[in-house]
Amino acid sequence: MLRTKVFNQLARNGASRLMSTATKLTTVEVNDKTGIATLTMCRPPVNGLNLELLKDLKTSIDEIESNKSRGLILTSSNATIFSAGLDILEMYKPEKERIRAFWTQLQEVWLALYGSSVPTAAAINGHSPAGGCLLATSCEYRVMLPKFTIGLNETQLGIVAPKWFMASFLSVLPQRQAERALNQGRMFTTEEALQIGLIDETANSKEEAVEKCAAFIGTFAKVNPLARALTKQQFRSADLQQLENERQDDLEKFLFFVNQPAVQKGLGIYLEGLKKKSKK
């Protein structure tokens, strides 16, 4: 009902169409029956959020928004990782202009996803630490596969999740639970996440997770889309406005922090560990 535009048709399992082919690190498929768009992150090996993936995410969210899809399901093409979070390489010995663009783009993605006017859900088909958890908690609903972990583990890495990461987390969990989890940098197993309310359902496969996300989005079938969007906005506008007001400050704070010698040293050690791991 809401889909009025014609997209580039693509014979992919018959019932869905690929909206965009220019995008390389994300794909968007719209289900013909339901009108729901599935946005898939495809940046091997771990969907590390670098500048390019963030740009493609923003473009895809905007496409879905302007095509008036019935909903957005965020998922990963990787079998075990939803998103490993911010790409450490963007932060280690950063080039001045690029790191500014990187953080600005991350702000853009959050503003677009957390503030999206269409219903949003995450099919979390793999581990989802830090930035991965930010994306998942910016959606309105979460379905997760078993035996993975999710959480804002920034303090474990010696960094601080900014206020807007907190805002997404607080839109899901009570302050008591949110504060403790972020202070500890705690990663929750799928089971723990379900129990505390960090996710809404579990599923045994990616397909089932996507189906359950679609079922959640389906609960809005008889709801007026404009009234729904304005209602959601009323709940989220204070958080969104706060980042809008503090974007420059937020960027400068991030740059100051990331350029601390101790943080750079920590990132170096971390990357060294990753290299050794991958050589084995």
Nearer to a copy of itself, 106 or 187 (CB): 187
Nearer to a copy of itself, 51 or 263 (CB): 263
Contact by Cβ (8 Å): 116, 235: no
- Shortest spacing between CB 153 and a copy of itself, in angstroms: 9
- Shortest spacing between CB 152 and a copy of itself, in angstroms: 9
Distance (Å, rounded) from C-alpha 50 to C-alpha 234? 31
Q: Provide the binding-site residues for a copy of itself, judged by CB under 8 A.
A: 119, 140, 154-163, 166, 170-176, 178-180, 182-185, 197, 219-220, 222-224, 226-228, 230-232, 234-236
DSSP 8-state symbol, 49: B
Q: Partners of 276 in the beta sheet?
A: none
Q: Is 131 a catalytic residue?
A: yes
Residues 6 or more apart whose Cβ sits within 8 Å of residue 241: none
Nearer to a copy of itself, 9 or 219 (CB): 219
Handedness of CA 163, 59, 228, 246 (dihedral sign): positive
DSSP 8-state symbol, 273: H
Determine which one of 49, 126, 153, 194 is catalytic: 153
Nearer to a copy of itself, 17 or 253 (CB): 253
- Shortest spacing between CB 170 and a copy of itself, in angstroms: 7
- Shortest spacing between CB 133 and a copy of itself, in angstroms: 14
- Shortest spacing between CB 89 and a copy of itself, in angstroms: 20
Tokens 């869905």 found at? 16
Q: Is 154 a catalytic residue?
A: yes
Determine which one of 25, 39, 74, 86 is catalytic: 86
Determine which one of 90, 154, 185, 198 is catalytic: 154
Contact by Cβ (8 Å): 178, 188: no
Nearer to a copy of itself, 19 or 214 (CB): 214
Pairing of strands 71-76, 120-124: parallel
Q: At what angle do helices 96-114 and 51-66 cross, to 10 degrees?
A: 30
What are the CA-CA distances from residue 199 to residues 65, 128, 142, 209 (Å)? 24, 12, 5, 12
Determine which one of 131, 132, 151, 185 is catalytic: 131
Catalytic residues: 86, 131, 153-154
